[in-house]
Structure 1
Amino acid sequence: MTPPHRTRLTFHGPLSETRADALVQRLTRHHPTTVLDIGCGPGELMLRVLATTPEATGTGIDLDADDLARGRKAAEDRGLASRARFVEESATGTTRGPADLVLCVGSSQALGGRLPDALKELRRLVTDHGRVLLGEGFWQRTPTPDELSRMWPDAAVTDHPDLATLIGTAIDAGFRPEWTETASLDEWEAFESGYLADTEVWLAEHPRHPLAEETRQRVDRHRARWLTYRGVLGLAYLTLVPTA
């Protein structure tokens, strides 16, 4: 028996149902016919876009075979299998664009090591009258050296910009920000709690399992990190319009 993982999450990120519904409505106003999801995971947001726009087809790209399998099953269960493709491959230099709508939520690293490079790639991958949804981390305030030492390995101030710099970088890459919104603390807490919840319950019920000690250390380490960046690290959802 292995600990369950992520069964309580709808989205792999701090995104509420209310915000997801609003995003889908905004992103489908220009009636996209092609959707490209970079680092799609199980592709929940892409599938919701396809359900709202019956004329659209979508392609999700990711390297996680398990997530892709979940996406394919979800597409089949919702009658979307003929319009949704899930492809296991790198997004670096992808030739699967341009698309009318490009989703890149928490996945800009798949397009390059630096945010400006990733944004230039997103401009290449979207049609001239399309939209990009960029979900990107930013510092809500500058973290202290002590906080950085308790986040992810080798965390640095340069890992993320502030929100103004993030938006400025998008503009420099050839976009205008149609809509700017940021994940709330409630969304962050729901995501991080949901990420760990199944495993926490499993640990409580199986304290002497052979995998318990290793699992406990991993979960405690993850919780300590997110409680450190809680209120410091933000996530922006930017709806970007390509500049003609």
Structure 2
Amino acid sequence: MDRQMISSIAHGDHPVAAPLHETSVTGLLDRALPRGDERVLDLGCREGVWLRRAVRGRPGVRAEGIDIDASAVGSGRAACAADGLAGQIELRVGDASEFAPDHRFDLVLSVGATHAFGGLLPTLAAARRHLAPGGSVLVGEGFWEREPGPETLDAGFTAQEYDSLAVTVDRIGDDGWTPVYGHVSTVEEWDDYEWSWTGTLARWGLDRAPGAERAAALRAAREHRDAWLHGYRRTLGFVTLLLRRTESDEG
């Protein structure tokens, strides 16, 4: 089983691929889409889950997403069609760093996908290229709740991978962005996310996995659960920030 397949299965029962409850997702989108007629882009959209939530109840919103994973995009298109949202959402297969539409967007999303761009600031640079004047970026990023110890580093992280919340926000401000809202995921949100991730994958392995994939799924679920419980629980945090450019970008 490759990592993309594991991730797709593991996230199947959770609202989004990030440690956020449904109410948090709704609240963030309500603040990010105050008019209800915005044009939205998700860089690294996977199955377009954020976009499907963005357009529900907002018939004037038009959304686009791009992701390099053709399988995920195909699943997202099918979900949009089943939900009657295909007319509002367009999902594309491609490299988000090379995406060059002929228009700009009122909201650019990238929640939990900054690794695809090489980090937080490169993600914001990519989002800025697509942002209409006065537009907003909704970005989700990890941070260290406390200094990572050996157990966390043994779980596959490096001490330099993230900063504290304060330093993370400082770096964003120094890069020319102003936070206009933010949500720090709670321990309860993290626990729900991790139990859902590992449990959904394990259940798939026990009930539905063909042949050798059963053992692979159960092993991946166990390894992830061990890394969380013995490694980064209460050390790795997650913040979702709604940002505006401090100085307006025209053109």
Q: 2:193 aligns with which of 185, 191, 194?
A: 191
Structure 2: gaps (5+ residues)? none
Q: Partner residue of 2:113? A: 107
Q: Is the 8 A contact 1:140 1:232 kept in 2?
A: yes
The root-mean-square deviation of aligned C-alpha atoms, in Å, is: 2.5
How many residues are aligned here? 239
Distance 1:75 1:203 in 2: 27
Relative to structure 1, the CA distance from residue 202 to residue 55 in structure 2 (aligned partners, 3 Å threshold; closer, same or farther) is: closer
Relative to structure 1, the CA distance from residue 170 to residue 31 in structure 2 (aligned partners, 3 Å threshold; closer, same or farther) is: farther
How much does 1:239 deviate?
Answer: 0.6
Q: 2:238 aligns with which of 227, 235, 239?
A: 235
Structure 1: gaps (5+ residues)? none
> Is 1:81 aligned to residue 86 of structure 2?
yes
Distance 1:115 1:21 in 2: 23
Q: Partner residue of 2:68? A: 63
Q: Partner residue of 1:125? A: 130
Q: Which amino acid aligns with 1:237?
A: T
Distance 2:60 2:22 in 1: 24
Q: 1:157 aligns with which of 154, 159, 178?
A: 159
Relative to structure 1, the CA distance from residue 74 to residue 163 in structure 2 (aligned partners, 3 Å threshold; closer, same or farther) is: same
1:13-24 matches, within 5 Å, as: 13-24=18-29
Q: 2:181 aligns with which of 169, 179, 199?
A: 179
Q: Is the 8 A contact 2:144 2:165 kept in 1?
A: yes
Q: Which amino acid aligns with 1:195?
A: W
Distance 1:45 1:73 in 2: 15
Percent identical:
30
How much does 1:32 deviate?
Answer: 4.7
Q: 2:9 aligns with which of 1, 5, 11?
A: 5
Distance 1:17 1:51 in 2: 13
Residue-by-residue CA offset, 1:205-234 (whole Å, 9 max, x unaligned) = 69xx64444333222111111221111111
Q: Which amino acid aligns with 2:127?
A: L
Q: TM-score, normalised by structure 1?
A: 0.88
Q: Which amino acid aligns with 2:28?
A: L
How much does 1:203 deviate?
Answer: 5.2
> Is 1:141 aligned to residue 146 of structure 2?
yes
> Is 1:35 aligned to residue 37 of structure 2?
no
Q: TM-score, normalised by structure 2?
A: 0.85
Q: Partner residue of 1:53? A: 58
Q: Which amino acid aligns with 1:194?
A: S
Residue-by-residue CA offset, 1:171-229 (whole Å, 9 max, x unaligned) = 222211001211111111111111121333355569xx644443332221111112211
